[in-house]
Chain A
Amino acid sequence: MSDSHETPSIDRRLLDQPWRFWSTVAVAGTLLGGIILGALIIPVVQGRSAGLDAYTAICRALGILPGSPAQPQPSDRVQRTPVSQVVWTSELLHILARADPARGRTKALESCAACHGETGIAVAPDVPHLAGQSGPAIYKQLSDYRTGSRAHDLMAGIARALDETALADIAAYYAGRPMRNPNPATLAPAPAEIITLVELGDPRRGIPPCASCHRAGSGGPIETPVLAEQRDEYFIQQINLYASGQRRNDLYARMRTIAAQLTPSEIAGLAAYYRAGFR
């Protein structure tokens, strides 16, 4: 986009000179003005009234140091008590992605199959099915048992005996068993208010639709467990544990908040809804 192919005469070029000069000055001037005001004067003045030295205030304004130049404290000094030790870093996601289901199967047969079944179909009513459960969900729950974030005497002992890769391998094994999904053919007819809870929630009580997280592909949190075809005894027990606060390893109290709003008949209805369709 240059004029190289034109052959401007000397006086034409002279005529253009001031245009070039002043437009550059104007643009550079606005830029410089913005920088001096925004990166120098304002943070220094704000920092002074917040008791910060000029250097800290400027670094904060530029985003090099955390915090605001107008506030004395970074706001994240508060002591945090995480409900779970699991952090979904990309390293962890890689460990899960590289897990070996064959190794997992060997270990599962050794130490899990007695209760959760060889393929993840549990025998006793209070033991959850693991077949087709999502890998991150299994991993998170095992880690939480291990660190004590989720309390259960039996499972805590079992999970502590396993190392990180073993957890990932076993999770991959059970996750790889045939996927569960409500089977429309055998789906028990559910009452309309239960379907509404699942599909639309109840904004009046602040209950979001269960399906907005618990349906495959809904974009819910990564650790969201699959509920389809879960045992209803286990389902009811867990909702009650959330509601009473005895189970408290859900991040941001997502499930505790919801469970506390559900009535016993809704819990039973939801449990029946999700159990339906088991092959």
Chain B
Amino acid sequence: MHSVKRLCLAHFWVAFAFFAAACAIGTWQMWVRSPLGASVGTPGQYYMLVTAHGVALAFVLTTFFIMGFGYFVATTALDRQLPGKAWAWGAYWLAVVGVVVAFAPIMNGQASVLYTFYPPLTGSAWFYIGLVLLVVASWIWAVLMMVAMTAWKRENPGRPVPLAMFATVANAVMWLWTTVGVAVQLLFQVIPAALGLVHTIDVGLSRTLFSWTLHAIVYFWLIPAYIAFYTMVPRAAGGRLYSDTMGRLTFILFLVYSLPVGLHHLLMDPEHGNATKFIQVVLTAFVSVPTLLTIFTITASLEIAGRLRGGRGPFGWIATLPWDRPMVLATGLSFVMLGFGGFGGLINMGYGMNAMVHNTSWVTAHFHLIFGGSVVIMYFAICYEIWPRLTGREHPTLSLLRLQLWSWFVGMMVMTLPWHWLGLQGQWRRVANFNYADPIIAGWGPWVIVSLIGGIILLASALLFLRNLAVLHRGAVLAVARPLYAIAVHPPQRVPAVLNSFGLWNVLVLVLMLVAYGLPIAQFLIEPSPSAIVHRMR
């Protein structure tokens, strides 16, 4: 483990402390939105806490988890020391300071602008400055990942980079591209507005820059789950990875196609022409390819495992899989949620259907299911897998781990399925309280209460998760060393250079971004649109 244990644990505990607190806030939100909490809290408090919930989960949980996981992979998959460990600790403290600086104004009610910022509304400049610090810290992490891989390649000329590390670096490279949009938006538009240096803000440009980040950031959050699918699940199931090449292609496709597609979040916005939206929707269709590749490859890998364990017939191998192992169970549950969520995603992607669900609860339900559900459940499984390696102690029992994964799955389904349904009926997202006296809205009440029950199950599950990890810090059962990463059916001896490095792919990303975002951004500079007056929250 080359002594990054404390570094990884420090990252993970920040991530999960914010995660648990945010789940409690989320449940409160659901209560306030339901008929049961109609007189609880003011809209001001609601938006303050939605901002806290969104920022904690979308920015803090994810960034800290991914950084910690990256350090773990860089030392275990490459089996060498982490280069620049002092930098890694520096980045950690920078990120912690950033989070404190961002959360102080949120909890003070001075930054209730939601995690997507919503210009021309602006909150305290400290909120944005704190987030910039967090992003800068993650940049340091991204560079360290690339340095670690390059150093390994120098020591192992011609050999394929282990898949887990290749994927981690793909994510780091993608993250550097991804954050350009939001960084430009914050540094040149939002922070000057928040500081009072400018009085107007070009909202169209601002939304366009944010959309640059908005899709790829979701894949940044998702890739750890896919790393687990490819490199941990086959081994946990007792089998082998069906194809290492498929894995490399998947992560490369994520890098290439996650970025030039963000305009699909602006399909209802007036500032872009139909053709530029269309081009990005076509490219969006291609980001489903890596997910389909993954479903295929992982199912094939699981089938290998199931048949090795004696499964027969077209479906018999499913029953023989070791479902009692957390990693395997989490994968099964994750795939079910991915199925429902992926179907919802196809609807969001279609221009006409998107028009019907735009800005409704459908959207919030969708990303809770696919991100809070299928992705976060894999974060849990990853932690259950690596915590014994970090603390040197074994889980005293697996049944509480299974209970936690099942309850997260059940809670997420119970919460999000009715939430989708409400969206289809036109329930707005980001609304603090509904007038249940209105006969049309009255019919929504029971469904929101069902969602609230789902939220309570999720909160209980989140607390159980913390407990399951915490016991490993003082338990008596010592961990036995066992291999973590899966071996491929045909372990690659060498792979084409394009599947072992990112030079060509960066060039292609550049070309795609120039075409996809060139005109949409340039139009604001060629013919500036009427700017909106900055609305300061102070």
Contact = CB atoms under 8 A, between A and B. Distances in A.
Interface string B508-533: 10011001000110010000001101
B406 interface: no
B504 A63 contact: no
B446 interface: no
Contacts of A220: 535
Interface string A89-105: 11001100100000000
Given A35-B279, A61-B273, A94-B199, A15 B496 contact: yes
A2 B512 contact: no
Nearest to B282: A34
Interface in A28-59: 28, 30-31, 33-35, 37-39, 42-43, 58
Contacts, number: 140
Interface stretch (A4-12, A148-156, A265-273): A4-12
Contacts of A90: 198-200, 531
B274 A3 contact: no
B503 interface: yes
Interface in B231-287: 256, 271-279, 282-283, 286
Interface size class of B (residues with CB under 8 A): 35 or more
Interface string A61-96: 111100011100000000000000000111001100
A158 B145 CA distance: 69
Contact of A217 (B500, B520, B538): B538
A60 interface: yes
Given A31-B512, A37-B282, A42-B278, A5 B153 contact: yes
Interface string B29-69: 00000000000001100000000000000000000000000
A63 B273 contact: yes
B478 interface: no
A6 B157 contact: yes
A23 B508 contact: yes
B480 interface: no
A37 B278 contact: yes
Given A6-B158, A63-B523, A209-B43, A34 B496 contact: no
A1 interface: yes
B497 A88 contact: no
Interface residues of A, number: 51
Contacts of A15: 496
Contacts of B43: 200, 209, 212
Contacts of A88: 200, 533
Contacts of A64: 273, 523
B318 interface: no
A68 B531 CA distance: 22
B299 interface: no
A212 B121 CA distance: 13
Given A1-B502, A30-B283, A63-B272, A38 B278 contact: yes
A199 B42 CA distance: 8
Nearest to B201: A90
Interface in B483-516: 494, 496-504, 506, 508, 511-512, 515
9 contacts: A1-B506, A3-B153, A3-B503, A12-B494, A23-B508, A35-B279, A39-B279, A200-B43, A222-B533
